[in-house]
């Protein structure tokens, strides 16, 4: 039984599998299965039954999202599939691995998704800096086209699909799905108001599904080996495997495929080898830069959407950033604030004005100009920029490390102010 469907073909010491080798390891089986007489509804049902949740950050059930796409005779003829390959969340390095390690897996998944929602055109919205991913994907797309897996009337089933590889010109906000659609249309990448949701009116006003790279890469396994197999993968409540990463001062930083539901300790200690010698674990962000800090006391929690949520954070991208006990927590949060402040799209006031203010306070704290009142101002901003107060989730994302940082590292903040310098700097 295949236990690592996302990475079974990945070996970064050699180039990714070419199409023929990919095919001989069960590749594109799902397409043949569909061609053998599956209706789009049946594919949708399988994905719903699988329990797959989006791996882009929000964890929204994929089948449910697809089911909002209008279908039937009087629905718009043109529908689009868009793959979100804009990976830019600080500390996140999982989609790159999939695209550079096994590009055909993404293409096969895209065929499944496009077939299910009735899209004949799909865009991969790829981060411009991912030049290596661009090369592996371009090559794989050409191979698939030559083989007849892309193009018109694929495997004689009356299904067409073109995949267009679009490279972005760099802004974190482009990863937000409605901003992404604006960017693809050649506009400034401000997010759009919802509703209407992209599933109904997305790219050029047509029904559009935006899914993360890793989400799409889950599909070939589900279709090929079945829902029952998929349900056996997990060690917890959520289904499937997931890529988990660890960066920071651990012995063996990296990215691994693991079943959902294993404990954080298994990731941090067994895979990442624990902390570097002489360093202790202070805290960690479990799923990229816009998640709340968690503490060593949380190490035995399972890596599941719900359990991490209950601990006040989010599983999000599953790529953990580790803070050791000799790195300044205030500096770490400040670094994140600089990022968010720079990447704010400027559309709404709390975020456009709030983030630079917060960032400026962190610079003051670093340079020994912190004031007693600063902490209160920072706390207020956690509220001003929180969920529901802004036009999109960028600013609330920033408040996650900020709010939890203020809570867990209060003493460090106070020490910066009392000593008028960063106590971690020697």
Partner 1 sequence: MEDILIASSSQQPRQLSAEEIAEIEHEKTLYPDNKAVGLEALKIVQKHQGWVSDESLLAIARYLDLSVADLEGVATFFNLVYRQPVGKNVILFCNSVSCWIMGCEGVRSHINKTLGVDFGQTTEDNEFTFIPVPCLGDCDRAPVMMVGEDLHRNLTNDKVDTIVASYRAEHQE
Residue list 165-194, contact with ligand FMN (CB under 6 A):
172-173, 175-177
Structure tokens at 28: 């594109």
The option from ligand FES, partner 1, ligand SF4, none interacting with 353 (CB < 5 to 8 A, set by class) reads none
Cβ-count burial of 280 within 10 angstroms (0-12 exposed, 13-18 middle, 19+ buried)? exposed
Is residue 119 at the binding interface for ligand FMN, with CB under 6 A as the rule?
Answer: no
Interface pick for ligand SF4 out of 148, 309, 346, 423 (rule CB under 6 A): 346
Shortest CB 35 distance to ligand FES, Å:
40
- What does the alpha-carbon distance between residue 200 and residue 325 come to, in Å, rounded to a whole number? 48
Q: Which partner from the list ligand FES, ligand SF4, partner 1, none does 319 bind, CB cut-off 5 to 8 Å by kind? A: partner 1
Output 90 or 240, the one with its CB closest to ligand FES. Answer: 90
Q: CB count, 10 Å around CB of 350?
A: 19
Closest to partner 1 by CB, 226 vs 273, is 273
Give the residue, chosen from 351, 358, 402, 406, that forms a contact with ligand SF4 under the rule CB under 6 A. Answer: 351
User: Strands (DSSP E) along 318-383, which ranges?
Assistant: 319-324
**Interface of this chain with partner 1, residues 168 to 227, rule: CB under 8 A:** 168-172, 183-189, 204
**Alpha-carbon gap, residue 185 to 138, rounded angstroms:** 21
Residue 395, contacted partner among ligand FMN, partner 1, ligand SF4, none, CB below 5-8 A by kind: ligand SF4
Instruction: Decide: is 55 part of the binding site for ligand FMN (CB under 6 A).
Output: yes
In whole angstroms, what is the distance from residue 303 CA to residue 256 CA?
13
DSSP sequence for 99-163: HHH-HHHHHHHHHHHHHHHT-SEEEEEE-TT-HHHHHHHHHHHHHHHHHTSSBSSGGGSS--BEE
Which of 173, 174, 255, 333: binder of ligand SF4 (CB under 6 A)?
Answer: 173
Interface residue with partner 1, options 31, 255, 308, 402 (CB under 8 A):
255
Options 90, 287, 288, 396; binder of ligand FES; rule CB under 6 A: 90
Sign of CA pseudo-dihedral 160, 164, 24, 235: negative
Q: Distance between CA atoms of 124 and 111, rounded to whole angstroms? A: 12
Binding of partner 1 by 2 (CB under 8 A): no
Q: Do strands 254-259 and 281-285 pair parallel, antiparallel, or not at all (unpaired)?
A: unpaired
Query: What residue 90 binds from ligand SF4, ligand FES, ligand FMN, none (CB within 5 to 8 A, per partner kind)?
Result: ligand FES
Residues 6 or more apart from 275 whose CB is under 8 A from it?
A: 249, 250, 251, 281, 322, 324
Between 28 and 80, CB nearer to partner 1: 80
Q: Which is nearer to ligand SF4, 127 or 271 (CB)?
A: 127
The pair of three-digit structure tokens given for residue 359, joined into one six-digit string: 């960032």
Torsion of CA 413, 415, 420, 425, to 10 degrees: -90
CA torsion sign for 11, 240, 242, 320 is negative
Q: Which residue has the tokens 């069960």?
A: 26
Residues that bind ligand FES (CB under 6 A): 90-91
Residues that bind ligand SF4 (CB under 6 A): 173, 191, 344-348, 351-352, 390-392, 394-395
Residues that bind partner 1 (CB under 8 A): 87-93, 95-96, 127-132, 164, 167-172, 183-189, 204, 245-249, 253-255, 289, 319, 321-324, 327, 331-332, 335-336, 339, 342-343
Residues that bind ligand FMN (CB under 6 A): 54-58, 60, 65, 84, 86-89, 172-173, 175-177, 210-212, 215, 392-394, 397
């Amino acid at each position: 039984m295949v236990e690592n469907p996302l990475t079974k073909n990945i070996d970064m010491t050699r180039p990714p599998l070419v199409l023929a080798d990919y095919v001989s390891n069960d590749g594109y089986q799902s397409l043949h299965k569909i061609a053998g007489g599956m209706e789009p509804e049946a594919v949708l049902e399988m994905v719903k039954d699988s329990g797959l949740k989006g791996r882009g950050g929000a964890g929204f059930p994929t089948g449910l999202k697809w089911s909002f796409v209008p279908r039937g005779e009087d629905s718009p003829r043109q529908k689009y599939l868009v793959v979100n390959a804009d990976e830019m969340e600080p500390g996140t390095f999982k989609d790159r691995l999939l695209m550079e390690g096994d590009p055909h897996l993404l293409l096969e998944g895209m065929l499944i998704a496009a077939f299910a929602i009735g899209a004949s055109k799909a865009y991969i919205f790829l981060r411009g800096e991912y030049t290596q991913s661009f090369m592996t994907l371009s090559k794989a797309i050409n191979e698939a086209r030559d083989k007849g897996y892309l193009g018109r009337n694929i495997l004689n089933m009356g299904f067409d699909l073109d995949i267009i590889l679009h490279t972005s010109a760099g802004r974190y906000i482009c990863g937000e799905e409605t901003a992404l659609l604006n960017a693809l249309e050649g506009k400034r990448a401000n997010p759009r108001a919802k509703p209407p949701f992209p599933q109904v009116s997305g790219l050029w006003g047509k029904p559009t599904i935006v899914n993360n790279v890793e989400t799409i890469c889950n599909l070939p396994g589900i279709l090929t080996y079945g829902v029952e197999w998929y349900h056996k993968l997990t060690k917890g409540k959520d289904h499937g495997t997931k890529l988990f990463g660890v960066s920071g001062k651990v012995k063996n930083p990296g990215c691994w495929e693991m079943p959902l539901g294993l404990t954080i300790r298994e990731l941090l200690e067994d895979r990442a080898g624990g902390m570097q010698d002489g360093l202790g674990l202070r805290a960690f962000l479990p799923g990229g830069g816009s998640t709340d800090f968690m503490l060593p006391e949380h190490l035995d929690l399972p890596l599941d959407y719900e359990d991490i949520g209950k601990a006040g954070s989010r599983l999000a991208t599953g790529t953990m950033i580790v803070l050791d006990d000799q790195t300044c927590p205030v500096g770490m949060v400040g670094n994140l604030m600089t990022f968010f402040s720079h990447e704010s799209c400027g559309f709404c006031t709390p975020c456009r004005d709030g983030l630079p203010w917060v960032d400026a306070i962190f610079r003051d704290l670093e340079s020994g100009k912190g004031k007693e009142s600063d902490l209160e101002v920072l706390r207020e901003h956690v509220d001003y920029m929180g969920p529901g107060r802004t036009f999109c989730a960028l600013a609330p994302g920033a408040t996650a490390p900020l709010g939890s940082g203020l809570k867990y590292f209060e003493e460090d903040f106070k020490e910066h102010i009392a000593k008028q310098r960063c106590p971690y700097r020697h």
